[in-house]
Amino acid sequence: MILKRGVFLFTADSIKKDLASSRRKKVILDSDAFNEIDDQYAIVHLLTSPGQCDLLGICATPYLNDRSVSAADGERKSYDEIVKLLSLTCENTELPVLHGSANFLSDRYTPEPSEAADWMIQTVKKYPEEPVYIVALGAITNVASAFLKAPEIRENTVVIWLGANLPEVGKNIDEFNLREDISAGQVLFDSGAVIVLLPMAVTANVYIAQTEMKDFLQRSSLPVCSYLHEEWCGYMGEEAHGKVIWDLAGSGAAAVPGCCRFEILPTPALGDDSEYVRRETENQMLMLREIDAPRIFSDLFGKMEQAVRRYSK
């Protein structure tokens, strides 16, 4: 499936085919795990998908919202949350967990130091002949820092990023993960690496009714489910109808072949005011257009039940 495009090993078209195939993929997860209550499901989903994904490690991402007092605090809370989910999911507890950067980028030319960026560089270099997918579910700071420090890793890195929005939503594609670190987004869009973008207007379809989610979490005996249930109830309250589990679009794209329909388009630049800027380029990206949310939830719940059987043996 490898097609050489300049120094880059893969084309948008070859990646589109790879994502639709059942080939087991090398995956790094990069997550602002504690920023709300949805990254947790994507983490558990990838931990319980060893048949589809060779998960190489999980990196914590800085975030700043009402669940942190600074970017550094968000990163620490995300790291702790990842460690907690690993122990409660009872799968692959030896998996590397890496600290991300304590700050967002100061500009688009200067990397922020982090254990995560250095580890991403070493890890991607171990597999020079195949794509290493980074499923990025928060601000794209760690990935941008890795690209700035070691531009050669762009050649075999594919970034699946939950961020930004569809081009037709208008001039301003503002969205939380992009807004937090626009400079990092600019590094990504200028990198030449194949980007698989999961825009907000489409990932908003990954919705589940409160009763369905709570029923599943209460029924399952996987230890992580009691924790997820507790967090769900604390965050949602009794009156809520349901919730979008945005980040499951990222784990779904990597672990559920064929659940996404992508359009291939020339990779635009990102302007300073969060807008796409069209340009002449040979680089192409994948833009998510449709997602089969019921299939992703059913895949997640099925895999969690299989994990219960492995754990109870």
Give me the residues that bind Ca ion (CB under 5 A), please. 32, 39, 137-138, 247
Q: Which is nearer to Ca ion, 18 or 39 (CB)?
A: 39
Pick the closer one to Ca ion by CB: 36 or 112.
36
Q: Which is nearer to Ca ion, 62 or 138 (CB)?
A: 138
Shortest-Cβ-distance residue relative to Ca ion: 137
Q: Shortest Cβ distance from residue 41 to Ca ion (Å)?
A: 10
Distance in Å, CB of 5 to Ca ion, minimum: 30
Nearer to Ca ion, 32 or 299 (CB): 32
Q: How far apart are CA 39 and CA 245, in angstroms?
A: 8
The CB-of-170 to Ca ion minimum distance in angstroms stands at: 23
Nearer to Ca ion, 41 or 276 (CB): 41
Output the DSSP codes for the chain.
Answer: ----BTTBS--HHHHHHHHHS---EEEEEEE-TTSSSSHHHHHHHHHT-TTTEEEEEEEE----STT-SSHHHHHHHHHHHHHHHHHHHTS-TT--EE---SS--SSTT-PPP-HHHHHHHHHHHT-TTS-EEEEE-S-SHHHHHHHHH-GGGGGGEEEEEE-S--GGG-S----HHHHHTHHHHHHHHHS-SEEEEE-HHHHTT-EEEHHHHHHHHHH---HHHHHHHHHHHHHH-SS--EEE-TTHHHHHHHHSTTSEEEEEEE--EE-TTS-EE----S-EEEEEEEE-HHHHHHHHHHHHHHHHHHHH-
Closest CB to Ca ion among 251 and 283?
A: 251
Nearer to Ca ion, 75 or 247 (CB): 247
Q: How many CB atoms lie within 10 A of CB 204?
A: 14
Task: Please state the closest distance from residue 40 (CB atom) to Ca ion, in A.
Answer: 10
In the complex, the smallest distance separating the C-beta of residue 35 from Ca ion, rounded to whole angstroms, is 6
Instruction: Supply the minimum distance, in Å, between the C-beta of residue 137 and Ca ion.
Output: 4
Provide, rounded to whole angstroms, the least separation between the CB of residue 38 and Ca ion.
Answer: 6
